[in-house]
A and B are shown apart, each in its own frame.
Chain A
Amino acid sequence: MNEKPLIDFQEVSFSYPPLSNNQSNRAPIPVLQDISLSIKQGEYLALLGHNGSGKSTLARLCNALLVPAGGHVFVTGYDTAEQAHQRPIRDMIGMIFQNPDNQIIATVVEDDVAWALTMRGLPASLIRKRVEEAMQAVNIYHLRGLPPHKLSGGQRQRLAIAGILALRPRCIIADEATAQLDPLSRQEIIDLLHHLNQNYGLTIIHVTHLLEETVQAQRIVVLEQGRIVIDGRPADIFSNLSRLRQLKLTIPEPIELADRLRKTGFSISNEALTVEAIARELSQ
């Protein structure tokens, strides 16, 4: 068995250079400080934090879009700072963003899914097979002949995911990928990420500022001002709501309700975090 973690941060720090020339006398702004974090193959990890907490920077360090200023990031043992490793690392760790339009290139859905494979010069029969499988995995096969602009926001986000799946990655990073979607499409994308995690063993790193999106994750990492302040299981993290409030995170109302009821003697387990689970326990 390969015991190496998929992604391994060792005492990583990062700062962006000052914005413009007339500020060059200013010191660079530190964004991440002393991050050590190890992510295993098959984990579903939620990376939570406010705007400006450093979570997108951390996500970009995972697949060598950025390289650390101090410390090292290893992906399956390869240092992301070495240029020769960067292409294979980016194939292994795919990423989707807030706005899927930024990564949709072709004028027809199936061409777009095939794009990266075509660029790598793979044989046509292999490309066709992988593209079909990727489209089926995210349920856009029936849309394959349409131009992407005819798709809804949620469907376009699924198209972006298919483009990554076609490369057979080991991990998908979703960086605020649901922020621009309506609630139902948002739930669809979250369900899809869980489906890919459970049925294909893909590692998922779900970057969000919404506590409610993290309840189904296996592990939650909270960033605040460039440092990891919480790392643990949802059931443990949600049993200390005052800590979450201190971090100015909005507690989902059903969890707040369960917490108050628990304090007045109701038996609701810490594991009940979804609306369905809380309802089930309350009605027993």
Chain B
Amino acid sequence: MSEPIISAHKLTHIYSNKHGGTLQKVALSDVTLDIARGSCAAIIGITGSGKSTLVQHFNGLLKPTSGTVIVDGIDIGAKGADLHTLRQRIGMLFQFPESQLFERTIFADVAFGPRRMQLSRREIRERVLHALDMVGLPPHQFAQRSPFDLSGGQKRRVALAGVLAMSPKVLILDEPTVGLDAEGRAEFYSYLKRIQDEGVTIVLVSHDMAEVATLADRLFVLHNGLLVMQGEPRSLFSQSERLGQYGLATPPLSELLSLLRTHGMAIPAHAFTLDEAFAAISSLHKLTERGERHV
């Protein structure tokens, strides 16, 4: 594997009372993980499991209480770490990002970030146009319109373009499709795939398992601040009981397959997609038919 772009080693974070009280909360405990360059990693876990605390280390909003986090070669806990540079490389899209839109035109809103990076006007313009293209809002149609006249899904894509215009190497998304309908979601996913194809590493915080199953190459499950499971979606979702212990539901199709297994049907553990499930059940059926004929 090539050098990971994000690497956490024995990361512990304790929130403590700034006013000198003794109240402390261990939000992350001894978390070690690597995120490969160019991959799409999903951090999953119930509310309070430590997901947000973890990703806030990735762009230096938080520093480790102990342990290290190295992001694209920068040790974020080190004294004098260049967090300014880091934050330009790590784009972050919070929940309901459309509430952060504020400019009069879509162009101006997307240009807000790059303008603060001391780039030439030409460079800014190029970046804004490219970012709008990437999220499916052709500039000639949209650049001069007000961001507030758009649909919810389009507004969210403007916010995404604003982050992309900074040319981040890593894009962190916190529950990016909550509140979007099926069509809005499908569109948003297709743009995320394009962004990943351009070499951007994506870190997704989500509790929508169907979303995670479509997008992510690798899952990290947090529970009570501990990293309790990691692996490919396929292998994790075949362990629905264990996920259930951590308060997580598997996608409905995986749930159906695991129910069939408990009913005694021999569904292979690797079956994951609709086609695979269909093939597995059909072939079982043919086997029993043949068996009956031989009797």
B147 to chain A, nearest CB (A): 14
B156 to chain A, nearest CB (A): 12
A274 to chain B, nearest CB (A): 9
User: A156 CA to B205 CA in the complex, in Å?
Assistant: 22
Q: Does A253 contact B (CB under 8 A)?
A: yes
Q: Does A260 contact B (CB under 8 A)?
A: yes
A19 to chain B, nearest CB (A): 8
Q: Does B253 contact A (CB under 8 A)?
A: yes
B residues near A253, Cβ cutoff 8 Å: 251-253, 256, 274
Is the Cβ of A51 less than 8 Å from the Cβ of B184?
yes
A252-B252, A253-B253, A257-B278 known; A276 vs B152 contact (CB < 8 Å) = no
Q: Which among A212, A256, A260, A283 is the interface contact of B263 at CB below 8 angstroms?
A: A283
Q: Which among A184, A250, A261 is the interface contact of B182 at CB below 8 angstroms?
A: A250
Interface size on A, residues (CB 8 A): 34
B238 to chain A, nearest CB (A): 15
Q: Tell me the nearest residue of chain B to A249, going by C-beta.
A: B182
Q: Does B209 contact A (CB under 8 A)?
A: yes
Is the Cβ of B179 less than 8 Å from the Cβ of A283?
no
B residues near A256, Cβ cutoff 8 Å: 274
Q: Of residues B181, B251, B255, B278, which shows the largest number of chain A Cβ atoms within 10 Å of its Cβ?
A: B181
Is the Cβ of A264 less than 8 Å from the Cβ of B182?
no
Q: Does B21 contact A (CB under 8 A)?
A: no
Q: Tell me the nearest residue of chain B to A154, going by C-beta.
A: B47
B255 to chain A, nearest CB (A): 5
Q: Which among B182, B186, B256 is the interface contact of A279 at CB below 8 angstroms?
A: B256
A184-B249, A261-B278, A282-B281 known; A254 vs B256 contact (CB < 8 Å) = yes
Is the Cβ of A152 less than 8 Å from the Cβ of B47?
yes
Q: Tell me the nearest residue of chain A to B175, going by C-beta.
A: A180
B residues near A153, Cβ cutoff 8 Å: 47
Is the Cβ of A209 less than 8 Å from the Cβ of B181?
yes
Q: Which among A179, A248, A275, A276 is the interface contact of B179 at CB below 8 angstroms?
A: A179
A98 to chain B, nearest CB (A): 7
Is the Cβ of A257 less than 8 Å from the Cβ of B256?
yes
Is the Cβ of A279 less than 8 Å from the Cβ of B252?
no
Q: Does B208 contact A (CB under 8 A)?
A: yes
A-B contact count (CB 8 A): 84
Q: Does B120 contact A (CB under 8 A)?
A: no
A51-B153, A283-B265 known; A182 vs B256 contact (CB < 8 Å) = no
Is the Cβ of A182 less than 8 Å from the Cβ of B47?
yes
8 A Cβ contacts from B259-276 to A: 259-260, 263-265, 274
Is the Cβ of B249 less than 8 Å from the Cβ of A261?
no
A residues near B184, Cβ cutoff 8 Å: 51
Q: Does A52 contact B (CB under 8 A)?
A: yes
Is the Cβ of B207 less than 8 Å from the Cβ of A50?
no
Q: Does A123 contact B (CB under 8 A)?
A: no
Q: Which among A52, A257, A282 is the interface contact of B265 at CB below 8 angstroms?
A: A282
User: A256 CA to B252 CA in the complex, in Å?
Assistant: 11
Q: Does A16 contact B (CB under 8 A)?
A: no
Map CB proximity to B onto A138-177 as digits: 1 under 8 Å, 0 otherwise.
Answer: 0000000000000011000000000000000000000000
Q: Does A121 contact B (CB under 8 A)?
A: no
B residues near A282, Cβ cutoff 8 Å: 260, 263, 265, 281
B212 to chain A, nearest CB (A): 11
Map CB proximity to B onto A232-258 as digits: 1 under 8 Å, 0 otherwise.
Answer: 000000000000000011101110110
Question: Given A184-B249, A260-B278, A283-B265, list of 16 further CB < 8 A pairs?
Answer: A50-B182, A50-B183, A51-B151, A180-B179, A183-B208, A184-B46, A184-B247, A212-B252, A248-B182, A248-B183, A249-B182, A252-B252, A254-B252, A256-B274, A257-B277, A282-B263
